[in-house]
Amino acid sequence: MDVASQVNRFGQPVGEAIDGWGGAVAPSPVVLSGRFCRLEPLDAARHSDALFQANAACADDRDWTYLPYGPFGDAGEYRQWVAKVSVLPDPLFFAIVDVRDEHRAVGVASFLRIAVDAGSVEVGHIKFSPLLQARPAATEAMYLLMRHAFTLGFRRYEWKCDALNAASRRAAERLGFVYEGLFRRATVVKGRNRDTAWYSVVDTEWPRLETAFKAWLAEDNFATSGDQLRRLEALRGGQDERGTALD
């Protein structure tokens, strides 16, 4: 129903009524399994060494530029950070484990700003090592988190990033997030101003996105070389566009 057509007894336009809304269920430390990866509750003893080694495959420190922490000087320092954040309920961190590569932890992501009463949750603290970047497991990890959020009853799934982080903005758009606007001078990160770009997916958009994710992740969408046959954006748009890069 058109929101503008709904009015209260004073003749004022009001938002649609959400009948029976009781809030979402808060996410808990669970395991989320897929074909390419598995998300596990982040654990210092289990994951920190593998994650530090995976991140060490970076040629330089550019992957840490837009994160509020890092790079870390050694494995011990990184382990201390993992031990600190892994016990938090918000952000709720997950290790991304590559099930096709010796079940090694190769990245992290989290739920944060969890607002069960409003039905809103954000995905963030995303740090993919070179062993995960531009691979099917990276897309699947984002799909598994998004699916879990909507299964828990969240109405709104957010992505926020430094407005200058072009790679993060491209990733949000590829995954189907809708750009909502720019929050100017939103915060200070590592002594620098950060304007924050806001993106979201809402519950009414999820069924179409889920269909596209499933089609993209399907075995028949990959050549024997491992290259994708159809791009995620094309599947979301209902086209039969073909490509090769896992962009």
Range with the poorest average pLDDT among 101-105, 182-186, 220-224, 242-246: 242-246
Residue 198 lies in a domain: yes
Share of the chain above pLDDT 90, in %: 86
- The structure's pTM equals 0.92
- Three-state SS string over the chain comes to CCHHHCECCCCCECCCCCCCCCCCCCCCCCCEECCCEEEEECCHHHHHHHHHHHHCCCCCCHHHCCCCCCCCCCHHHHHHHHHHHCCCCCCEEEEEEECCCCCEEEEEEEEEEEECCCCEEEEEEEEECCCCCCCHHHHHHHHHHHHHHHHCCCCEEEEEEECCCHHHHHHHHHCCCEEEEEEEEEEEECCEEEEEEEEEEECCCHHHHHHHHHHHHCHHHECCCCCECECHHHHHHCCCCECCCCC
Measured in whole angstroms, the distance separating CA 127 from the mean position of its chain's CA atoms is 10
Residue 116's domain is classified under what CATH number?
3.40.630.30
Sheet containing strand 156-162, edge to edge, reads: 32-33, 37-41, 92-98, 104-115, 120-128, 156-162, 192-202, 178-189
Q: What is the mean pLDDT of the chain?
A: 92
Residue 25 lies in a domain: no
- Domain assignment of residue 207, yes or no: yes
Q: Which domain holds residue 216?
A: 30-237
Inside any domain, residue 247: no
Q: Is residue 246 part of a domain?
A: no
Tens-place pLDDT, residues 160-204? 999 999 999 999 999 999 999 999 999 999 999 999 999 999 999
Mean pLDDT within 75-96: 97
Domain count, the chain: 1
Encode pLDDT of 48-83 as tens digits: 999 999 999 999 999 999 999 999 999 999 999 999
Domain-located, residue 179? yes
Asked if residue 92 belongs to a domain, the reply is yes
Residue 24 domain-assigned (yes or no):
no
For residue 147, give the amino acid letter.
Answer: R
